[in-house]
Chain A
Amino acid sequence: MLHSPRLDRQAVALRPARNAPLTLRIPEPVARPGEPVNFSKLRLSAPGAVRRPALDAEPRSIHDLAYELIRVLDDEGRAVGPWVPEISSATLLSGLRTMMLTRVFDERMYRAQRQGKCSFYVRSTGEEAVSAAQAAALDAADMLFGSYRSQGLLIARGYPIVKMMGQVYSNLLDPLLGRQMPVMYSSREHNYFTVSGNLGTQFIQAVGWAMGSALSGDTRIAASWIGDGTTAEGDFHYALTFASVYRAPVILNVVNNQWAISSFQGIAGGDEAPFAARAVGYGLPALRVDGNDFLAVYAATKWAAQRARSNHGATMIELFTYRAEAHSTSDDPSRYRPADEGSKWPLGDPIARLKQHLIVRGEWSEEKHAALQEEVTQEVRNIQREAEAQGVHGNNQTPSPRTMFEGVFKEPDPRLLKQRQEAGF
Chain B
Amino acid sequence: MATMNMIQAINSAMVTMMTRDPQVVVFGEDVGYFGGVFRATDGLQKKFGKHRCFDTPIAEGGIVGAAIGMGAYGMRPVVEIQFADYIYPAFDQLTSEAARIRYRSAGDFSVPMVVRTPYGGGIFGGQTHSQSPEGLFTHVVGLKVVIPSTPYDAKGLLISSIEDDDPVIFLEPKRLYTGPFDGRHDVAVKPWSAHPAAEVPEDYYRVPLGQASIVRPGEDVTILAYGTMVHVALAAAAESGVDAEVIDLRSLIPLDVETIMTSVHKTGRCIVVHEATKTSGFGAELAALVQRECFYQLEAPVERVTGWDIPYPHAFEWQYFPGPARVAAAMRQAMEA
Contact = CB atoms under 8 A, between A and B. Distances in A.
Interface string B224-251: 0000000000000000000000000000
B146 interface: no
Contacts of A238: 59, 61-62, 65-66
Contacts of A409: 102, 142, 144, 166
A235 B75 CA distance: 21
B73 A212 contact: yes
Interface stretch (B36-44, B106-114, B306-314): B106-114
Contacts of A377: none
Interface in A168-201: 175-177, 179-180, 184, 186-188, 193-194, 196, 198, 201
A234 B103 contact: no
A215 B66 contact: no
Contacts of B103: 179, 407-408
Interface in A214-247: 215-216, 222, 234-235, 237-239, 241-242, 245
A408 to B, nearest CB: 5
Contact of B65 (A188, A204, A222): A204
Nearest to A213: B73
Nearest to B97: A201
Contacts of B107: 407
Contacts, number: 133
Interface residues of A, number: 44
A212 B70 contact: yes
A231 B105 CA distance: 25
A410 B102 contact: yes
Nearest to B25: A215
A179 B257 CA distance: 28
A208 interface: yes
B219 interface: no
A36 B107 CA distance: 50
A275 interface: no
A186 B104 contact: yes
Contact of B105 (A194, A201, A208): A194
A242 B57 contact: yes
Contacts of B97: 196, 198, 201, 205
A208 B61 contact: no
B109 A205 contact: no
Contacts of A213: 73
A32 B297 CA distance: 69
A204 B166 contact: no
Interface string B314-327: 00000000000000
Interface residues of B, number: 41
A387 to B, nearest CB: 18
Contact of A212 (B75, B104, B105): B75
A176 B56 CA distance: 34
B80 to A, nearest CB: 15
A210 interface: yes
A92 to B, nearest CB: 32
A104 interface: no
Contact of A188 (B57, B68, B109): B109
Contacts of B62: 204, 237-239, 241-242
A122 interface: no
A410 B165 contact: yes
B101 to A, nearest CB: 6
A209 B57 contact: no
A362 B285 CA distance: 71
B45 to A, nearest CB: 14
B93 interface: yes
A198 B92 contact: yes
B57 A241 contact: yes
B218 interface: no
Nearest to B165: A410
A206 interface: yes
A204 B89 CA distance: 13
A143 B73 CA distance: 9
Give 4 closest A-B pairs by Cβ, nearest first. A208-B69, A238-B62, A204-B65, A212-B73
Given A204-B66, A413-B254, 18 more contacts: A179-B104, A187-B108, A193-B72, A194-B101, A201-B65, A201-B97, A208-B73, A209-B69, A212-B74, A215-B51, A215-B70, A216-B74, A237-B59, A238-B66, A241-B57, A245-B56, A408-B142, A410-B102
Interface of B: 25, 51, 56-57, 59, 61-62, 65-75, 77, 89, 92-93, 96-97, 101-110, 141-142, 144, 165-166, 254, 257
7 contacts: A176-B104, A187-B108, A204-B65, A208-B65, A208-B66, A208-B69, A213-B73
